[in-house]
A and B are shown apart, each in its own frame.
Chain A
Amino acid sequence: MNTPLLSVEGLSKRFGGLQALSDVTFAVNTGEIVGLIGPNGAGKSTLFSTLVGLHRPSAGKVALNGRDVTGLRPHVIAANGLTKTFQNVSLFAGSSVLDNVLIGGLVHSRVASARGFAMDCLKRVGISDIAQRSAGSLSFPERARVEVARALCTRPKVLLLDEVMAALNTAEMDEVIGLIRDLRKDGLTVVIVEHHMRAIMSVCDRIFVLNFGQLIADGPPAHIARHPEVVEAYLGREHDV
Chain B
Amino acid sequence: MTMRQTFLLICFATLIPLALEPNGYYIRILTLALLFAALGQAWNIVGGLAGQMSLGHAAFFGLGAYTSTLLLIHFGISPWIGMLAGGVLGGIAAFLLSLPTMRLKGHYFALGTLAFAEVFRVIANTWSSLTGGPVGLSVPFSEPSLAMLQFNETRSYYYLMLAAFVAVSMIFVIIVQGRLGYRLRAVKEGPDAAEVIGVNTTRVKIHAAVISGSLTAMLGTLYAQLNFFFDPDTVFGALQISIRIALIVIVGGIGTLFGPLLGALLIIPLEEFANVMLADRAAGLSQLTYGALLMAIVLLQPQGLAEFAKKLAARISGKVMSSKTEART
Interface residues of A, CB < 8 Å — how many? Answer: 29
A67 to B151, CA, bound (A): 63
A147 CB, min distance to chain B CBs, angstroms: 9
The contact string, 1 if C-beta is below 8 Å from chain B, for chain A 86-128, is 1000111111000100111011001100000000000000000
Q: Which residues of B contact A (CB under 8 A)?
A: 177-179, 182-183, 185-186, 189-190, 192-202
A92 to B185, CA, bound (A): 8
Of A26-34, A75-83, A201-209, which binds chain B? A75-83
For B201, the closest partner residue in chain A by CB is A75
Contact of A99 among B182, B192, B194 (CB under 8 A): B182
Contact B197 A154 (CB under 8 A): yes
Of the A-B pairs whose beta carbons lie under 8 Å apart in the complex, a sample of 12, sorted by A's number, is A54-B196, A73-B202, A86-B192, A86-B193, A91-B190, A92-B193, A95-B186, A103-B183, A106-B179, A106-B199, A111-B178, A111-B182
Contact A103 B194 (CB under 8 A): yes
A74 to B198, CA, bound (A): 7
Contact residues in A for B199 (Cβ distance below 8 Å): 75, 103, 106
A78-B195, A111-B182, A150-B197 given; 5 more Cβ-contact pairs under 8 Å: A75-B198, A75-B199, A94-B189, A107-B197, A111-B178
A84 to B192, CA, bound (A): 11
Contact B183 A106 (CB under 8 A): yes
Contact residues in B for A95 (Cβ distance below 8 Å): 185-186, 189
- A83 and B198 in contact (CB under 8 A), knowing A99-B182, A106-B179, A111-B182? yes
- A54 and B189 in contact (CB under 8 A), knowing A75-B201, A103-B183, A111-B178? no
Contact A92 B196 (CB under 8 A): no
A52 within 8 Å of B by Cβ?
yes
A120 CB, min distance to chain B CBs, angstroms: 16
- A90 and B198 in contact (CB under 8 A), knowing A99-B182, A106-B179? no
For A74, the closest partner residue in chain B by CB is B195
- A54 and B182 in contact (CB under 8 A), knowing A75-B200, A154-B197? no
Contact of A111 among B179, B185, B198 (CB under 8 A): B179
B80 CB, min distance to chain A CBs, angstroms: 33
A153 within 8 Å of B by Cβ?
yes
Contact A103 B186 (CB under 8 A): yes
Among B178, B196, B202, find the residue whose CB has the most chain A CB atoms closer than 10 A: B196
A77 CB, min distance to chain B CBs, angstroms: 8
A8 CB, min distance to chain B CBs, angstroms: 17
Contact residues in B for A91 (Cβ distance below 8 Å): 190, 193
Contact A151 B185 (CB under 8 A): no
Contact A52 B183 (CB under 8 A): no
Contact residues in B for A150 (Cβ distance below 8 Å): 197
Contact B196 A83 (CB under 8 A): yes
Contact A84 B196 (CB under 8 A): yes
A151 to B196, CA, bound (A): 9
Contact A92 B198 (CB under 8 A): no
For B190, the closest partner residue in chain A by CB is A90
Contact of B192 among A90, A94, A102, A111 (CB under 8 A): A90
**5 shortest interchain CB distances as A-B pairs:** A107-B198, A74-B195, A78-B198, A92-B189, A104-B197
Contact residues in B for A103 (Cβ distance below 8 Å): 182-183, 185-186, 194, 197, 199
